[in-house]
Amino acid sequence: MANNYYEGTGVLVLDRVTPVIKALFGAFALDENYPGEGLAYIARIAETNDPQWSDVLDNLGALATQLGISMPDEDEPTLAPLLERMAVHFGTDQDEELENLIEHHQFEDSTDLEALLLIATCLNDGHNPAAIQFEGCWYSSKPRLFEFGGDGCYLSRELKVSRSSTQALQLGEPLRKAILAADAEEASALIALEAASLLAGIRDEPFRMTVRRRVAERLAQTPASTSR
């Protein structure tokens, strides 16, 4: 029987590590001193630390008590109402993205960095988060086919770029078939879909549409003009 694992390391890009950052990312083996200069180390290591939403609940609950924020009156506290109260404390209870997250996220099992970044942005106690950079890999205890790979992400309030090695395989095969069949329509559709996925990571819709038009203009240029 094979065991499957996922591990990764990255950095928080921010002004400084604050109590909110420690509460949200403490379970990620947070190191505020490395590598330094506005970067703080985080990691998810198999069989060592697997950050859970329950960790965030415990840590934020303890911080809320220190800040004088009353905990929700529940037999078994949950994260959503606690986040609502903390958002009021930080003056971000009208943030639409946070409201949507609180309403729809299950906050169960392993944490996800995109949600944590949004929470950190809205519960800003001086850390001023700019972005998260993270690279990870999955692997098996046995060399089974397609049980190994990697991924990386760049997350900020303005942009999300996320790719995995599996995506290269998923794109390569149909694109090769389209080339062999001289099917320019299918090949262009596959490439356009990749470009659309990258554009979708730009959160500002008007700016995203502007970039989309400029990309189309650049692709329409001749090779000679694009090299200048």
* 6 vs 70, residue with greater confidence: 6
pLDDT, residue 75, reads 77
Tell me what the mean pLDDT of segment 1-12 comes to.
95
Over pLDDT 90: what percentage of the chain? 91
The pTM assigned to this predicted structure is: 0.90
What's the pLDDT tens digit per position in 27-69? 999 999 999 999 999 999 999 999 999 999 999 999 999 999 9
- 223 confidence band (pLDDT: 50, 70, 90): low
Q: How far apart are CA 43 and CA 51, in angstroms?
A: 9
Distance of CA 78 to the CA centre of its chain: 22
Return the closest-CA partner of residue 212 out of 223, 222, 224, 201.
201
Contact, 29 vs 41, CB < 8 A? yes
Cite the DSSP H helix spans in the chain. Answer: 19-25, 53-66, 79-90, 96-104, 113-122, 165-180, 184-200, 205-220, 223-226
Share of the chain above pLDDT 70, in %: 97
Mean pLDDT of 189-197: 96
Mean pLDDT of the chain: 94
Mean pLDDT of 125-146: 96
C-alpha span between 208 and 203 (Å, rounded): 7
Can you give the pLDDT at residue 228?
47
What is the pLDDT averaged over residues 174-201?
97
- Residue 224 pLDDT: 54
Q: What is the mean pLDDT of residues 166-187?
A: 97
Q: Number of C-alpha atoms within 13 angstroms, CB side, residue 130?
A: 9
pLDDT, position 222: 61
pLDDT in the model for residue 73:
79
How far, in Å, are 18, 23, 137, 213 from residue 164 at the CA level?
31, 28, 9, 27
Rounded (5°) CA angle 22-27-29: 90
**28: Cβ–Cβ under 8 A, 6 or more apart, which residues?**
42, 43, 44, 49, 51
